[in-house]
Amino acid sequence: MNDLGNKSTETICELCQIELNRLAEVELITDEEMDILEQPNRMVSANLEVKMDDGSVRTFPSFRIQYNNARGPTKGGIRFHPSVSQDETEELAFLMTLKCAVVNIPYGGAKGGVVVDPSQLSEQELERLSREYIRAYHDVIGPKKDIPAPDINTNGTIMGWMMDEYERIEGEKSPGVITGKPPKLGGSKGRTSATSLGGAIITDLFVDDQGWDNKNTDVAIQGFGNVGSWLAKFLHERGYNVVAVSDVAGAIYDPNGIDIEALFDQYEENGDLFEMDGVDEIGNDELLTMDVDLLIPAAIEDQITEDNMEDIQASAIVEMANGPTTPTADEHLRDRGIPVVPDILANAGGVTVSYFEWLQNISYEYWNKEKVQKKLENYMKDAYKNVKEKQNDEETSLREAAYLRAIDRVKAAEQARGR
């Protein structure tokens, strides 16, 4: 394991620097605040050696970056993906720092990743890789240090393996070391759909501020994985007209609104959007440029870019994926008067319920689903109210307001510590 220690000499990720520079240019943050957020506290890397089923040994590069811990132990997911890199992990850890501060939970931000295509591994190889990750990073994580969680291509099963490995090393039970676990291992009820429920709550508040009627609001959702499918379900139940959804294979469209209840059940069973009756098949690119009230990118990063920003016709955008809008495209949309509800606010429901899971784990007190969802609603409403107040005070965009609110809280914690 290579531990570069506190305040490495590496430069901040490109996206992070662009966003901070934008605020500094209009004198919304100071040089002191830039110094706090320009570099991560700690960057750790390790090459994970894993025995394959055929007896060979493969090496998988991996990372864990703890960006800022002024407000509490760091928090962030672990993703398994071939495109994982140090820069991407740093960017996501930076965003997690801001996300936790926006919803005012007592965490800093972190992120981890392994360069691997998990679809090419057997279940036994995947378990060995998961346990090896914990063995490599055991010394820098823990319920009072840094608490991992699932991310792309990781899930409750993998979190269970990781928790078990940590407990084997420690020699004692420690359910609070990882969140996103199955409920039978201490996972919180309501966690699976928490990101989407939080996004639906934020969408309701935003739509109400716009003076729109949700029953006359057309919505296109890019992505029908866990986040996109649950969000479509929640919005459909609230009366929104979900006219288009997509996955990696393409998109379906019905101007009168898709029967999301039927689609949700069908997709859960066979993973195929195109067996739905009465819909048109379109491309993902076409979905992004549809003339709808709300466009919701809920898949992966960098979907609204310089290549398609001029073709965006949606009246507003709610970011449920992490970083789906590039800085250049974001500035273009702002100039056109298209509001964007930023990811660090819109998709913060997941980390909020992860915080609830951690609270339940360290107190050995477990809550019912209704209590979890009510507490989530309160946190999301408070977060939106605080960001909106900041937007009005500074006469800026929702994204800049969310960044400023988060930076205020990180700065206050740093100052209280005398750092």
Interior angle at CA 333, CA 330 and CA 338, nearest 5? 125
Where are the domains positioned within the chain?
A: 2-176, 194-341
Distance CA 210, CA 314 (A): 14
Average pLDDT over the chain, rounded to whole? 90
From the candidates 7, 51, 99, 111, which is the catalytic residue? 111
Say whether 194-341 and 2-176 share the same fold: yes
15, pLDDT greater than 70: no
Angle between helices 86-102 and 14-25 (to 10 degrees): 50
Joined together, the tokens standing for residue 241 give 């007209």
Mean pLDDT to the nearest integer, 114-142? 97
If we measure between CA atoms, which residue out of 72, 69, 67 comes closest to residue 362?
72
- Contact (Cβ atoms closer than 8 angstroms) between residue 97 and residue 56: no
pLDDT digits (tens, 9 = 90+) for 351-368: 999 999 999 999 999 999
Residue 111 appears among annotated catalytic residues = yes
6, pLDDT greater than 50: no
Q: In CATH, what class is 194-341?
A: alpha beta
- Contact (Cβ atoms closer than 8 angstroms) between residue 404 and residue 29: yes
Topology of domain 2-176 in CATH is Rossmann fold (3.40.50)
- What's the confidence (pLDDT) of residue 302? 82
- Contact (Cβ atoms closer than 8 angstroms) between residue 325 and residue 397: no
10, pLDDT greater than 70: no
Distance CA 51, CA 57 (A): 4
pLDDT digits (tens, 9 = 90+) for 147-162: 999 988 999 999 999 9
- Contact (Cβ atoms closer than 8 angstroms) between residue 317 and residue 295: yes
Joined together, the tokens standing for residue 136 give 């490599």
Q: What is the pTM of this model?
A: 0.89
Mean pLDDT to the nearest integer, 237-254? 92
Q: What are phi and psi of 417, to 5 degrees?
A: -85, -5
> For 214-273, where are the E strands, in sequence order?
218-222, 241-247, 250-253
Share of the chain above pLDDT 70, in %: 93
Compare 242 and 37 and report the one with higher pLDDT.
242
Query: DSSP string of 159-213?
Result: HHHHHHHHHHHHTS--GGG--S--GGGTPPTT-TTHHHHHHHHHHHHHHHHHT--
410, pLDDT greater than 70: yes
The residue whose two tokens read 């994970």 is 48
